[in-house]
A and B are shown apart, each in its own frame.
Chain A
Amino acid sequence: MSSTSQKHKDFVAEPMAEKNVNALAGIGDVLGRRLEERGFDKAYVVLGQFLVLKKDEELFRDWLKDTCSANSQKQGDCYGCLREWCDSFL
C-alpha cells in the first residue's frame, strides 16, 4: 500500500464543507477543470456521485475515467481519499 499524500491527509482531516474539487487527492488543475465543466464544481458533488455509486471502487473509477479521463493512479487516490473521509465523517 503506498503512503498517502499531504493533500490526502489534509482532506480527510476535516469536514469538506465548501472545498473546491481541486482539494481532492488525485485531482489537480487539469482534472479539476474538467470536472467543473461537467458540473462537479465542489468536492461534495463528487462525494454525492461517490455515494450514489454506493462507494463501489470499480464503478467510481470508471466514472472518474469517463468524466475527466483520470488515469489509474489518480482514480485510486481520489477513491481512497473519499472512502477515508466517509469512514471518518459520514
Chain B
Amino acid sequence: MTSIIKKSPEEQHRQKAFGWAARDASGVLSPFKFSRRATGDEDVTFKVLYCGICHSDLHNIKNEWGSSTYPLVPGHEIVGIVTEVGSKVQKFKVGDRVGVGCLVGACHSCDSCSQHLENYCPKMVLTYKSIDYDGNTTYGGYSDIMVVNEHYAIHFPENLPLDAGAPLLCAGITVYSPLKYYGLDKPGLHIGVVGLGGLGHVAVKFAKAFGVKVTVISTSPAKMSEAIQHLGADAFLVSRDPEQLQGAMGTMDGIIDTVSAFHPLMPLIGLLKSDGKLVMVGAPEKPLELAVFPLLAGRKTVAGSMIGGLKETQEMIDFAGKHNITADVEVIPMDYVNTAMERLVKADVRYRFVIDIANTLRAD
C-alpha cells in the first residue's frame, strides 16, 4: 500500500485567489486570501463576474446543517468569462461566457453518474465546503476566480444577462428538474408553488413557459399583486386563510414546495387532485406530520428533489435562453453582503441578491 503524502496548498503549484469568507458560525463574512489549483489539462479557469446568494449560503455560513468547516467561502450561482483552458478542454475557449452551479466533482462511475445524475452521486464534490479529489477544501463563488473541470462548466447563452441569469445555476435547476421529472411540465396542468422567494419565483416563470397554470401559495398577502402582474401567476392563495384553501381543494396536479421552514403538509396534500404530487425542494430539518388517510384516498404522493445533474443544468439554461427567463435580482456590492444576509433571513428581497463581483470585489 502506498502512502499518500498530501501536499499543503502552499506546496502545490497554485494560483492566487481572493474572496470573502465566514470564519465561524456567526456567519459574518470578511475578506479572505486563498488559492486555487493551477489550471489542469481538463480545467477551465474563469474570472468571476457575478455570484448569486442562495439561501443555502446563509444556512452554511451559520453552520445550521452542522457540516460547515471554516473558513467558508460560499457561492454556487457563479458566472464569468473564461480566461484559460487546459490542453484537453474541448467545450470552452477563452472569452466564453460560463457558469458553475452547486457541483464541481463526482465519481463518474456509479449508477447516478452514469445516468447524468451527478447530483445524487454519493461521492459528489460541492462547489464549496467539500473536500475535492485532490484533498483540498473547495471554495465557492464569492471570489475573483474559479477553476473547474470542464464537465462542471455550463455554457451561458449570449442573450441571457449574466447578473440575472446567475441564480438559475442553483435556484433554476432546483425547480426545473422536478417539474420535468414528475411530469409537471405538460401544458394545461395546474400546479401550485409554495413560497415566493428565490426558488418560488423562478418556478412560476418556468411553469408558465411550459404552458402550465400556476397558483402561488404564500403566507404573505402582500406578494399577491407582484405574483400575478409581474411574474405571471394565474392565481394566489394565502395559505393561512382556511377559506381560500378550502376553495382550492382537489384542484392541483402538482405542487412545488420551496419552503424549508417547518410547515404543515396536510393542507397542501388537500389541494392536490387524485394522483397529485407534492414535491419538496426545500428541506425542513424536522419530520413533518403525515396523515396517511388523505394520501391513500387520492393516490397522492410526497416526493423530493435536489438540484440537478450537469446535462440537465445545461438543458435548463438553454431553455431559459430560448424563453428569456431570468431571475429577478437585486445586484449588490461585495461589502453589502452581510447586510444582504440579514435581509435574506427576513425574506426581504425580490427575489435573489446577486453580488457584482467584478466591479466591487477588491483585494486590499
Co-assembled chains A and B: no
B interface list, Cβ under 8 A from A: none
Interface residues of A (CB under 8 A from B): none
